A and B are shown apart, each in its own frame.
Chain A
Amino acid sequence: MSEVVIKVENLKKHFPINEAVPFKKSTQSVKAVDGVSFEVYKGETLGIVGESGCGKSTMARLINQLIRPTEGVVEFKGKNLATLGSKEIRSIRKSIQMVFQNPYASLDPRKTIEYLIAEPLAIHHIGDAKSRKKRVIELLEVVGLSGYHAERYVHEFSGGQRQRINIARALALNPDIIICDEPVSALDVSVQAQVINLLKDLQRKFDLTYIFISHDLNVVRYICDRIAVMYLGKIVEIGTYEELYENPKHPYTKALLSAIPKENPFDKKERILLEGDVPSPVNPPPGCSFHKRCPHAMEHCKKDVPAFVDLGETQKVACHLYS
């Protein structure tokens, strides 16, 4: 296996819930990410999938330290980010960039495209005005726009073009890793395909590593090398895309995959319909957090938290059925 870029170990983020009593320490918390461990290797795309509220986006923000974890370690190229001061973190963030979901909200409408793309360069004091301008034009061409777009404003662009601008901005500092938080969910299918192709091209060209967060299982299957399935703040299964889609092990992964709509009108799909909704992350069920909706739940699922079990080289699953 190649070099580990990001290593996450037993990462937890609990957001305290403020109670109505002032000065009283809050006793309850939302367990958004609750003990997650994984590694991301250089040049790969790791997908993170799960239903809304399972902690995907919190995880993204923990990795580049936009929020500090409650517990656990994030290592970037062997450096423990939790021990670094804010200055050092800022310089590390040059290497960890993000692309967000909503291209309509993530760009400042009052600034020109040139300003927006050069902003990361200015923040990190790279180059002078002239060289930055050159870099902006270069970046615009890399993402399939043209140099003359630099003087325009955000409202002049469509959703797909805006996402290209976001990608150009993320590339500005030559990052090692880009965290894409639902980058194509807000786009139409035909435009979605354009942006996905662009992301793939850039990965090849600049040797990028991606963490790709999405709830669209078809997109994730197509773009990712390995996929982690999250449920209520925990990873329940992780493996290569072939392993996960051809041979899913965890009952939740199976249900998630069976919920993908048909691919053609003649498709006869066996569907595992999950009952109810995701439980509240304030009081996740004891034991396996999936046991309330699991069709295979056994008595000890309600008590014991399942540990990760290795199945073959890369596939791991946290389920009592396999322990």
Chain B
Amino acid sequence: MSDVILKVENLDVHFRSSASIVKAVNGVNITLKKKETLGIVGESGSGKSVTATALMRLLPKGIGSIPNGKITFNGKDILSLSDKEMRDVRGNEIAMIFQDPMTSLNPVFTVGDQIEEAVRTHQQMSKKEAKKKAIEMLKVVGIPEPEKRVKMYPHEFSGGMRQRVMIAIALSCNPKLLIADEPTTALDVTVQAQILELMKSLQEKNDTSIIMITHDLGVVWEMCDKVIVMYAGNTVESGTVETIYENPLHPYTWGLLESQITKNTLNGDKLPAIPGSPPDLRNPIPGCNFADRCPYAKEICSTTKPQPIEVELGHIVSCHFQTNSNRLERKERVYIE
């Protein structure tokens, strides 16, 4: 068990707004081993990014809170660390890459300055050494002419190059865990392919664990070992990518998989789509969050919350009708309006 790098148990995240409490994340469990990649998929508002923010303890003070849950990272209880201790972990042992490379770099500092800042914050290093390290990191992430590039400003870089710089900053302190929040969503497919290849090769070299947050199942199949499917703040299903692809059990996962357009989707065929839109989390939902969009929903679904059940080793589903004794029969084409 010693190679488990991150363990999250029953994590809840609440946001206070003027009128109500938004339960953004309910009871998320994560176990991540060394060198493993975990994907978190779901639609906007499903709580993917909030989970990541909570792991980094970057929730807005006074608004976001973690009423329940435990986060153990590398033997440390993250939630009980002082702010100062947390600062030593953040950016050093856990690093993060954000979605939008256009806004996550500071436009008034050179790219080199920004890498040096990350390095010098966490490691005893002279300015000269840090500069050397910055050049080395740019080389690692495949930026040509790093000696020249290190003196340039973010606006002189393209989107893909900026994301490479972000990766260079994130990896400059050799983190044990890298959280990538939609790292390729803003990029073109060709550049996306380059960045994913780069992340894979760097993971191989440095034994980093990765949490990949995305809404693109293609990226999950490409990168991940395990996957968590989130819907409206809940984990609806989790397991290895192979099980989730071959034997998905939750009706939401079915809908998600079906509405992906692949090369087997016939041109002109009607596309499966989940009707309706996600619920408003300001109002408490007594039953299953997916109940009002679920074509299989029965009465119990709108009154009682389903509990997560481990149906096979490592494959967990939260659905009233997917238990060890009971299975739901998957109908064809239910998601076609």
Q: How far is B264's CA from A217's CA once the two chains are assembled, in angstroms? A: 13
B271 touches A262 (CB 8 A): no
Asked if B77 lies at the interface with its beta carbon under 8 angstroms from chain A, I say no
A259 touches B189 (CB 8 A): yes
B191 touches A277 (CB 8 A): yes
Q: How far is B8's CA from A68's CA once the two chains are assembled, in angstroms? A: 57
Asked if B221 lies at the interface with its beta carbon under 8 angstroms from chain A, I say yes
Q: Which residues on B sit within 8 Å (CB–CB) of A217?
A: 189
Q: Which residues on A sit within 8 Å (CB–CB) of B245?
A: 264-266
The segment from A93-101, A110-118, A175-183, A190-198 found at the interface with B is: A190-198
Most buried by A among B189, B245, B259, B268: B189
B267 touches A260 (CB 8 A): no
Q: How far is B246's CA from A278's CA once the two chains are assembled, in angstroms? A: 38
Q: How far is B222's CA from A158's CA once the two chains are assembled, in angstroms? A: 30
0/1 string, A179-218, CB within 8 A of B gives 1 = 0000000001111111011001000000000000001011
0/1 string, B80-120, CB within 8 A of A gives 1 = 00000000000000000000000000000000000000000
Give the distance to chain A from B195, nearest Cβ to Cβ, in Å.
11
A277 touches B255 (CB 8 A): no
Q: Which residue of A lies closest to B46 (CB)?
A: A188
**Residues of chain B in range 156-178 having any CB-CB distance to chain A below 8 Å:** 158-161
Give the distance to chain A from B273, nearest Cβ to Cβ, in Å.
4
Q: Which residues on A sit within 8 Å (CB–CB) of B63?
A: none
| Given A215-B188, A215-B189, A218-B263, A262-B159 contact (CB < 8 Å) | no
Give the distance to chain A from B252, nearest Cβ to Cβ, in Å.
9
Give the distance to chain A from B289, nearest Cβ to Cβ, in Å.
14
A193 touches B259 (CB 8 A): yes
0/1 string, B240-280, CB within 8 A of A gives 1 = 01100100000000011001111111011011111101000
The segment from B53-61, B202-210, B212-220 found at the interface with A is: B212-220
Asked if B65 lies at the interface with its beta carbon under 8 angstroms from chain A, I say no
| Given A188-B43, A197-B337, A277-B160, A262-B218 contact (CB < 8 Å) | yes
Most buried by A among B216, B241, B268, B273: B273
B189 touches A222 (CB 8 A): no
B273 touches A261 (CB 8 A): no
B190 touches A193 (CB 8 A): no
Q: Which residues on A sit within 8 Å (CB–CB) of B267?
A: 221-225, 241
B158 touches A190 (CB 8 A): no
0/1 string, A243-264, CB within 8 A of B gives 1 = 0010000000001101111111
| Given A190-B274, A193-B272, A215-B188, A221-B222 contact (CB < 8 Å) | no
| Given A160-B277, A188-B44, A271-B193, A261-B261 contact (CB < 8 Å) | no
Q: Which residue of A lies closest to B219 (CB)?
A: A261
Give the distance to chain A from B43, nearest Cβ to Cβ, in Å.
4
Most buried by A among B217, B261, B270, B275: B261
**Residues of chain B in range 270-313 having any CB-CB distance to chain A below 8 Å:** 270-275, 277
Q: How far is B337's CA from A266's CA once the two chains are assembled, in angstroms? A: 30
Asked if A274 lies at the interface with its beta carbon under 8 angstroms from chain B, I say yes
Q: Which residues on B sit within 8 Å (CB–CB) of A196?
A: 271
Interface size class of A (residues with CB under 8 A): 35 or more
Q: How far is B112's CA from A251's CA once the two chains are assembled, in angstroms? A: 35
Asked if A66 lies at the interface with its beta carbon under 8 angstroms from chain B, I say no
B192 touches A261 (CB 8 A): yes
Asked if A273 lies at the interface with its beta carbon under 8 angstroms from chain B, I say yes
| Given A255-B190, A261-B221, A277-B191, A189-B43 contact (CB < 8 Å) | yes
A273 touches B261 (CB 8 A): no
Asked if B121 lies at the interface with its beta carbon under 8 angstroms from chain A, I say no
Q: Which residues on A sit within 8 Å (CB–CB) of B261?
A: 193, 218-219, 221-222
Q: Which residues on B sit within 8 Å (CB–CB) of A188?
A: 43-44, 215
Asked if B194 lies at the interface with its beta carbon under 8 angstroms from chain A, I say yes
Q: How far is B29's CA from A315's CA once the two chains are assembled, in angstroms? A: 51
Give the distance to chain A from B149, nearest Cβ to Cβ, in Å.
13
A274 touches B190 (CB 8 A): yes
Q: Which residue of A lies closest to B274 (CB)?
A: A190
Q: How far is B207's CA from A323's CA once the two chains are assembled, in angstroms? A: 49
0/1 string, B8-29, CB within 8 A of A gives 1 = 0000000000000000000000
Give the distance to chain A from B158, nearest Cβ to Cβ, in Å.
5
Can you give 18 contacting A-B residue pairs, CB < 8 Å? Answer: A188-B44, A190-B274, A192-B259, A193-B259, A193-B261, A193-B271, A193-B272, A215-B188, A215-B189, A218-B261, A218-B263, A221-B263, A261-B189, A261-B218, A263-B262, A265-B241, A266-B242, A266-B245
Top 6 A-B residue pairs of the complex, sorted by shortest distance between their CB atoms: A261-B218, A193-B273, A188-B43, A259-B193, A193-B259, A190-B274
Binding site for B on A (CB under 8 A): 51-52, 158-161, 188-194, 196-197, 200, 215, 217-219, 221-225, 241, 245, 255-256, 258-267, 271, 273-274, 276-278
Given contacts A193-B272, A221-B263, A278-B158, 16 further A-B contacts (CB under 8 A): A51-B189, A51-B191, A188-B44, A193-B271, A200-B271, A221-B261, A222-B265, A224-B267, A259-B192, A261-B192, A261-B193, A261-B196, A261-B218, A262-B222, A263-B260, A263-B263
